[in-house]
Structures are given as structure tokens and as C-alpha cells.
Amino acid sequence: MATQPDIHLYTASTMNGWKPTIFLEEAKIDYELTAIDLGKKTQKSDWYLKLNPNGRIPTIVDRGNDDFVVFESGAILWYLAEKYNKFLPQGEKARSQTLQWLMFQMAGIGPMMGQAMYFQRIAAPQGHEEAFSINRYVTESRRLLEVLNTQLKGQDYLVGDKFTIADIATYPWARSYYWAKVSVAGLDNLQAWFNRIDARPATQRALEIPKPYWAFFGKRDIAAQEAENAERFKSDVKS
């Protein structure tokens, strides 16, 4: 009888949702996937809230560790990195630096770009055009991308020459600058880093799981996916 994989991943095709998928594909680890339908609010159902009290994706359950549950995408990456001894350097300083850039993504890039997206892609098309908020989040996102650009000067990845969980967490967000309508003009180191990770087959494969959403990256079927996204998050706008 085939054994079940340790990791059961609950996720959807979003910037946070792709983080564990990128890790698992890059590390070539077998996992079971349950696609959560955000449009149907599956993430708010009772069974899912027992796993993730925040009612958001992603979440993992580790069957190999007494069905231990981990939520919050940064914590999931950290847990997987320790379990599989991958993408988190062993040396004390490089390890701390990796966690610093992971926190920078979780506390800065994600929330700011997320709000830039929300106000422009979800609220504005439904009649809530908030110029002050849009300007605030777009300007702050651009500033944070400039910080990444400076960090990437003369090195391939966020922490030296090794691909780490900091890159895994940051790439889906920063690479979605098109969706957040944040310019990356003049950020040459950042663009070179995009190109480097765009060329990683496992990461690109992960971006099609559970399904592709290339509109976030300004590529392919943009009009159709913009319409689908508007439908998906329609009920999130409160008057």
C-alpha cells in the first residue's frame, strides 16, 4: 500500500499561498494538496478554522509529526526548512540574516503590497476609489522594493549566493509589482533577481499550483484573470 506523504498542504493560488508550494517543489518533497476555494469562502468553514484560527491560507498538517498543524506562511517556511534541512543556512549569522529578510517580507512587503492591491484591484473597481490610501501603499511598497534592490547589489539572492526561504517568501510578492501597480523602473538588481528566479523551473511549476494566475505577474490572459479575480474577492469590499 502506498504511504501517504507527511505534508498535507491547504492552499490557493495567491502570493502567500504559493510560498509553501515553492518550497515543496524546489525541495522535491512529495505532499498532498487540498485546493481551498477562496471565492466560496472555504477558508472560513468550521473544519478549516480548526486548523487555521485566522481563516486564511496557507496551512500545513504534518502527518509525520502527530498531525502537527502550522499556519502563517512565514512560520510554515521556517518549519519546513527545519524539518527538511533546506533553504535555511546553518551558520548562525546567515541563519539570522535569512530570518531577518523573512520577517521583512512578512511584516513589510506582504502587508503593504497587499493593501496596494486591495485598494486598486478590489475596492476601486467596486466604486471605492481611495486616492490617499492608494498613494500611501504604493509609495511604501516602492520604498520597500528599493530596500530589496539595495540588498541585492552584488549578490544573487537576498542572503548571499544561496537561495533561501527569504527568497521563497519574497519572490511571489515582489514579482507581483504589476498587480500592485508599483513601478520597478531603475531597480536593476531587483529585476536581475526576478530573472534569476523566473528561470527556476521548480518555482515556476509551483506558480501553477493549484492553478496558474499569471495576471498577478502581468503575463498571459490578463483580462480574463482580472475579471476572475474581481469575482473571487467581490464580497470582501464592505461599504
Question: Is there binding between residue 146 and ligand GSH (CB under 6 A)?
Answer: no
Helices 165-174 and 110-117, packing angle to 10 deg: 20
The residues, any chain, with a CB within 8 Å of residue 111's CB and separated by 6 or more, are: none
Q: Does 11 bind ligand GSH (CB under 6 A)?
A: no
**Contact assessment for residue 58 and residue 20, using Cβ atoms and an 8 Å cutoff:** yes
C-alpha grid cell for residue 192? Answer: 536581475
34 contributes a contact to ligand GSH by CB under 6 A: no
Around Cβ 33, how many Cβ atoms within 10 Å? Answer: 14
Dihedral angle sign, alpha carbons of residues 40, 41, 42, 43 = positive
Q: Going residue by residue from 63 to 92, which x/- string records binding to ligand GSH, judged by CB under 6 A?
A: ---------xx-------------------
Contact flag: residue 35 with ligand GSH (CB under 6 A): no
Q: Which is nearer to ligand GSH, 126 or 155 (CB)?
A: 126
**Alpha carbon 169 to its chain's center:** 6
How far apart (Å, rounded) are the C-alpha atoms in residues 35 and 24? 15
Q: How many residues sit close enough to ligand GSH to count as binding (CB under 6 A)?
A: 11
**How far out from the chain centre does Cα 218 lie?**
16
| Nearest distance from C-beta of residue 123 to ligand GSH, angstroms | 14
Binding pattern to ligand GSH, positions 46-65, x when CB under 6 A? ---------xxx--------
Q: Out of 16, 105, 151, 229, which residue is the one contacting ligand GSH (CB under 6 A)?
A: 16
Interface residue with ligand GSH, options 7, 10, 14, 99 (CB under 6 A): 14
Quote the least distance from Cβ 173 to ligand GSH, whole Å. Answer: 9
Burial class (CB in 10 A: 0-12, 13-18, 19+), 211: exposed
Contact residues toward ligand GSH (CB under 6 A) are: 14-17, 38, 43, 55-57, 72-73
